[in-house]
Amino acid sequence: MKLATVFLLVGVAAGCSSYQPPASRPDSERMESCKSTSSEEIAALFDRWNQSLQTGDPHKVVANYAGHSILLATVSNKPRLTPAEKEDYFEHFLQNQPSGKIDFRDIELGCNSAVDAGLYTFTFAKTGDVVHARYTYTYHWDGHQWLITSHHSSAMPEK
């Protein structure tokens, strides 16, 4: 019995000798791999989105959004969660031929994420209407491209 206990303790001690607690692991093993980016790269994502509006194709606009994302649009009270709900919104929004222009922005960079928030103006070629709004886009790097994970837009409250 004592001999079995000794062998058990020796075996446990030998197994523990190769264990490294998380704090002693190299940083490269503990850290997530972050995509290197810049404010200019994130700013260009709005241009990509705006250019997809110019196609008039809701499917091309929705391709900018991650599968799990939310659209809180300027002219809709309904949160759009699925690609089909976003396409439905853009199908109507695109009928008036919108074009956006950034008036003010602040970009925050993170590890595989970014936030672009500010003010923009939409001009609708079909109607001539102009809408000034606030916006926030959050982006996530999916390993291949930056995609919108949340998009909030609301008309400016003060005239």
Q: Report pTM.
A: 0.79
More confident residue, 78 or 5: 78
In this structure, is residue 22 part of a structural domain? Answer: no
Task: Identify which of 85, 58, 52 has the alpha carbon closest to the alpha carbon of residue 69.
Answer: 85
Domain count, the chain: 1
Residue 104's domain is classified under what CATH number? 3.10.450.50
Looking at residue 32, what is its pLDDT?
64
Residue 20 has pLDDT above 70, yes or no: no
Q: pLDDT (tens digit, 9 = 90+) per residue, 91-127?
A: 999 999 999 999 999 999 999 999 999 999 999 999 9
Place 80 in a pLDDT band, splitting at 50, 70 and 90: very high
In this structure, is residue 129 part of a structural domain? Answer: yes
- CA 155 to each of CA 34, 49, 67, 123, 146: distance values in angstroms, whole numbers, following the listed order: 34, 19, 26, 13, 26
In this structure, is residue 13 part of a structural domain? Answer: no
Mean pLDDT of the chain: 86
Sequence letter at residue 21: P
User: What number is the average pLDDT over the span 32-55?
Assistant: 96
User: What number is the average pLDDT over the span 14-25?
Assistant: 44
In this structure, is residue 7 part of a structural domain? Answer: no
Domain span at residue 147 reads 39-155
